[in-house]
Structure 1
Amino acid sequence: MVNVAGGRLALTAQPASKNGFSYIAGTISSKGRRQVGPHGRLTTRQFLHPGYGVSVGVCLFGMNIDSVGWPAAGEIDATEIALSRPGSPFGSAHGPGYSGDSPISGTYSGPLSSLVGRWVTHTLEWEPGVLRWAIDGAVYHEARATDPRAVGGWPFDAPFFVVLTMTVGSYLGGAIDTRTWPKGASGVKTARAEFDFIRFEQLVDA
């Protein structure tokens, strides 16, 4: 589910039967509403709550995805994290020839042992030919158009849309253990991710 309370956007997941699935979870997209880029800085400030089997992502997809498909349109994972591994968020770039389980990806290995239970700022620096990922101002990964893995194309010099997503039981999230999920206001086990802000600053190319 998706809601706004106290000026903060929240994605939540709960056990509930719907369309043959055992859980429901929130996702929100800017597709058809607002595009970003090409090039700029995407910053999110997040507070993650515990929840084994849950993953949270801030992802960008090329606006032309409906016409050229994925991964030709490009995907930038500004941040992804499995709450069962709260100290290992990562950022990735997916394009032709480097997608799925073989993106150009890097995992955070900074001083924070866990991103759960604290406010953390995630930044994606998106420049011509280069992408950089940072947590609380410390860069932990960089991808470049000159990377040999990107020989099939670098689709990141075009407009994208943004998706905030929470998933349950995915390959990334791993095994579900609702015993680790806190109870929500209604007494139901609820995984939760809060966003204080999502900000995009457009780069004006020289």
Structure 2
Amino acid sequence: MKKIVFYDHFDVGTKPNQTYWNIDVGGSGFGNNEDQFYTDRLDNIYIEDSLLHIVARKEDFEHRKYTSAKITTKNKVSIQYGAIEVRMKLPKGLGTWPAFWLLGDNIHKVGWPTCGEIDLMEYVGKEPDALHFSLHSKNFNHTKSNNLHLKKEIKNLSDDFHVYKLEWSKEGFNYYLDNELLFKAPKEDKQGLDNWPFDEPFFMIINLAIGGNWGGKIDDSIFPVEFLIDYVKVTS
């Protein structure tokens, strides 16, 4: 029987549990020329009906024209191997860029991309029928256009909730959508931190970006738009 090592079903309080989650605040563009400013306001992030709501809005805020939210488990919850399962409903519309992803705990020491990045789920509104999974390391990342990036065409992906699951072991990754195996990403002969940083602890991130290099052109008529998370569960 698998052991549950982390489980948040977002049914307590009005904001994410501070024991697990940090709410990031800022609007630096985050290396991707993103257009949103992340806030910690209830206008942008709240819990209701046992769901985490991340809401992007069209509004002038600080130096940005959109607001949204981002949470992380940095310095609070770390994961190394196991199965990460998340039930989510993605937002619709041009310019939306929701993601559930992980970064290496050692990012403050070695920086990105040496720390490693696991993109468990990325989605952009301009490709409404496409699910993306990718891995990044120092020697294999999107800036070099040589990293593992797997794309699956799934019709009407944002119409309903789906369960996204990543099995992570010393041998690599298996990726499931609604319990159907979609991708395998084996470690094979990759050795060393620069090639395969995925034998170290990572922290989780959930955010809804707007626009930017990949989110692209924004349709202002879609706002406000919601990214809904039912639960996050990690088993070992």
Q: Where on the TM-score scale, by shorter chain, does this alignment land: which range?
A: 0.7 to 0.9
- 1:193 counterpart = 2:208: no
- TM (norm. structure 2) is 0.76
Gaps of 5+ in 2: 1-43
Give a deviation string over 1:58-112, Cα, whole Å, max 9, x none: 0001001100111111100001001221210110010111112432110113xx4
- 1:23 counterpart = 2:66: yes
Contact kept, 8 Å, 1:2 with 1:28, in 2: the verdict is: no
CA 1:86–1:23 in structure 2 vs 1: closer, same or farther (change >3 Å)? same
- More deviation in 155-164 or 17-26? 17-26
What letter corresponds to residue 107 of structure 1 in structure 2?
K
CA 1:178–1:70 in structure 2 vs 1: closer, same or farther (change >3 Å)? same
Give % identity.
25
From 142, 167, 186, give the equivalent of 1:100: 142
What letter corresponds to residue 96 of structure 2 in structure 1?
V
Give a deviation string over 1:118-163, Cα, whole Å, max 9, x none: 1111111111131122211222222222267999421111111000
Q: What is the match of residue 91 of structure 1?
A: 133
Q: What does 1:174-189 correspond to in 2, within 5 Å?
A: 174-179=216-221, 181=222, 189=223
Q: What is the match of residue 127 of structure 1?
A: 169
- 1:77 counterpart = 2:111: no
From 50, 75, 79, give the equivalent of 1:32: 75
- TM (norm. structure 1) is 0.86
CA 1:158–1:51 in structure 2 vs 1: closer, same or farther (change >3 Å)? same
Deviation (angstroms), 1:178: 2.0
Q: What is the match of residue 157 of structure 1?
A: 199
CA 1:162–1:151 in structure 2 vs 1: closer, same or farther (change >3 Å)? closer
From 12, 18, 26, give the equivalent of 2:55: 12
Give a deviation string over 1:20-59, Cα, whole Å, max 9, x none: 11111111111122111x1111111111232210111000
Q: What is the match of residue 186 of structure 1?
A: none
Q: What is the match of residue 52 of structure 1?
A: 94
Aligned residues: 191
Report 1 or 2 for greater relative contact order, CA contacts < 8 Å, sequence distance ≥ 6.
1
Q: Distance in 2 between matches of 1:45 and 1:84?
A: 22
Q: Distance in 2 between matches of 1:201 and 1:144?
A: 20
Q: What is the match of residue 180 of structure 2?
A: 138
What letter corresponds to residue 225 of structure 2 in structure 1?
A
